[in-house]
Structure formats: C-alpha cells, structure tokens
Amino acid sequence: MGGTETRATRDLRETAHSAQVRELTAAGVLTDPAWLAAFAAVPRHVFVPFFWTGRGAGHERLWAEDPDPEHRARWLRGVYTDAPLATRLRDGELVSSSSQPSLMARMLDALEVRDGNNVLEIGAGTGYNAALLCHRLGEDLVTTVDLDEEITESARAHLALLGYNPAVVTGDGARGCPARGPFDRIIVTCTLPLIPASWLPQCRPGARVLAPLSTGLIALRVRDAGFAEGRFLHTSAYFVPLRGAGASPPWVAGGLPYELLENERFQFMLILTAGVLHPREALDLWRREDRPPRERFGVTVTDEGQWSWLDDPQGPYVWPLGGYAEAGPSPGGR
C-alpha cells in the first residue's frame, strides 16, 4: 500500500479480510476447502487500490494512499464489503469493476475446476479473480484476457505484487486465446449477447463454459468444436457488457408496466428473447408458464447457430439467441 500505511491500517485490513472470509463462509458460498483457502490467501485490497462511489457527477474516488486516515479507512472498509466496486470509468461510464466477492465465489465453485485444468478467463478486470485461480491451479494454467491495455497492465501489476504471473493477454475476449489452449474451463466476467463461436474449438471435449448471459449465468458443457449445451444457474448476475467484436446490441422494451420491468425473473426472460418476442408476447408466455425461474432456461450452441429455450431444447419454446441475426434451424432439427 506504500509508505502511508500505519500499523492501525494494517491491522484494520487484516481484520477486514478475515471478517470477509468468515462472512462468505457463513453465507454458504465458500464450501469447497480449496476456494476457502484461496480467498483467505488472496487479499482483495491489493487489486482495488482505488474505487469510485456514487453516480454521475457525484462520483467520489476512494484510494489507498489518501493522506486522510479516515478516507483510507473508508476505502478499506469498502474494499472488504461484499459488493461490486467501480474501478475504471471513462467519460463517466463504467468500463471495469471488481465483482461482488460472494458472486465470484459462487461462479468459481460452479466452474467445477479440477487439478490440472487449463482455464481461460474473459475479462481480466483488476486481476483478483485470476489470482484466486492461480492460487487454486497454479499460474501456468491460468490465462486472462481483456480488450483494454490499461486494464491488463494494471491487472498484471496487481498480480505480480502477490507473486503471480499468469498469462495476461491484451486482446478481444470474443476471440479467446487459441495460443494458450486447449482449455478445460472458460469463465467469463462480462455480460454476453451470445457465445462467441471461436471459443468451442479452443476447448477440450467435456470443457465447461460459465458465462453471464441476459441477467443470469449459463453453464455449458462442450461436446466438441461444434456443439455445447447447458442450463442457467439459479443466481442472478450483472456485469459490465463485453466490448469488442461480440458486443451487445441495444434492446428496447416499451409498453410494459415499470414494476414488471423491475421484476428480475421477467427481466431475465425479456432480455434473453429480445429481438424475437415482442415484450407483450414475452409477458404472455411468462405468465402462462407460471413465471419460470432461470433454471428452467437453457442454451444450445452449434456450428449452425445458437438458441435459448425453456425446459427442453427440442420443445416448443426455442428462440434464436440474441435474436438480431439469422441463427439457422432450431436445435430440435439437429
């Protein structure tokens, strides 16, 4: 943290870090001893030397080297709060953040890594997630990619402070990183409109891909270079959108009551079927199917196209994923 750190600050961060690990354990999101050990060993504050609070013109920057001890204490308490933190703004817009630690723990657990797995992370962010993966698997098995050179340089520096040197690559995450494959796991920390076609050929058969899609997390099992399928997890997930070749088009939902647009279950389905179902059609189906939770939805990815579906990939409710381009025949015909 630099020369301004006092004994009181050091004690506060050690206490705050330990308290966060206990809270995550008590909340039931750190049940795997290997991930518990990783969260206990990797301090978050190293990866978040500053962050912004507030909105719009009211953003306030809190940072580790602030000469005011109370401001430093506010920074540290914020770092070890179970909340996402804005770490990089551009023209007032959020372009990078440190994810909520409990969501990170859930995602890492859902990734189902095994010793020896080669992992690709899309969205380097601060480097904190990559550090947790390095602790669990070893740095040689971790690759993290981000489009922005400032972000990758910062992540690389943060990782090096703790002695971790995974492959930190500046590039378009939608293209993956074929030079570091084949991968056993891909974990994504930015919201996608669909699964980039280049990822599957970079995976070993049986690989698992965990990615934010709509407002949920899709867990895909890769069969081969041309096919993957899976269901959404029950948890919600909100991330900064992917930038680059796979960026999301805008979506508009008009004519619906505000309270419906604020309903998480309906919002998830509305975004997932955007461009295919009109908002009123989505609402009718959502009500008819008893307001289905995320786990009832899934995704199929083939070399012919991508689809989301409700309950059954060969059932009556199948939609082109993204809805903005031709997706080919439905998976039921495959």
The predicted model gives 205-223 an average pLDDT of 96
Q: Examine the pLDDT at 325 and tell me if it is beyond 50.
A: no
Q: Could you give the CA distance from residue 232 to residue 235 in angstroms, rounded to a whole number?
A: 8
264-297 confidence digits (pLDDT tens): 889 899 889 988 888 889 999 999 999 999 999 9
Write the pLDDT tens digit of every residue in 34-75: 999 999 999 999 999 998 887 655 678 898 888 998 888 899
Region 150-173: mean pLDDT is: 97
Q: Which residues are catalytic?
A: 99
> What does the alpha-carbon distance between residue 87 and residue 151 come to, in Å, rounded to a whole number?
10
Q: Which of the four pLDDT bands, split at 50, 70 and 90, describes residue 330?
A: very low
State the pLDDT at residue 286. 93
Q: What's the rounded Cα separation, in Å, for the pair 81 and 78?
A: 5
Q: What residues form DSSP beta bridges with 219?
A: 210, 231
Q: Is the pLDDT of residue 217 over 80?
A: yes
Q: What angle separates helix 128-137 from helix 101-110, to the nearest 10 degrees?
A: 40
Q: Tell whether the torsion through CA atoms of 269, 270, 274 and 277 is positive or negative.
A: positive
Q: DSSP letter string over 59-120?
A: -EEEETT-SSHHHHHHHHHHHTSSS-EEEEEETTEEEEEEPPHHHHHHHHHHTT--TT--EE
Across the chain, mean pLDDT equals 88
Q: How far is CA 189 from the centre of its chain?
A: 2
For the chain, list the domains and their CATH numbers.
7-236 (3.40.50.150), 258-333 (no CATH)
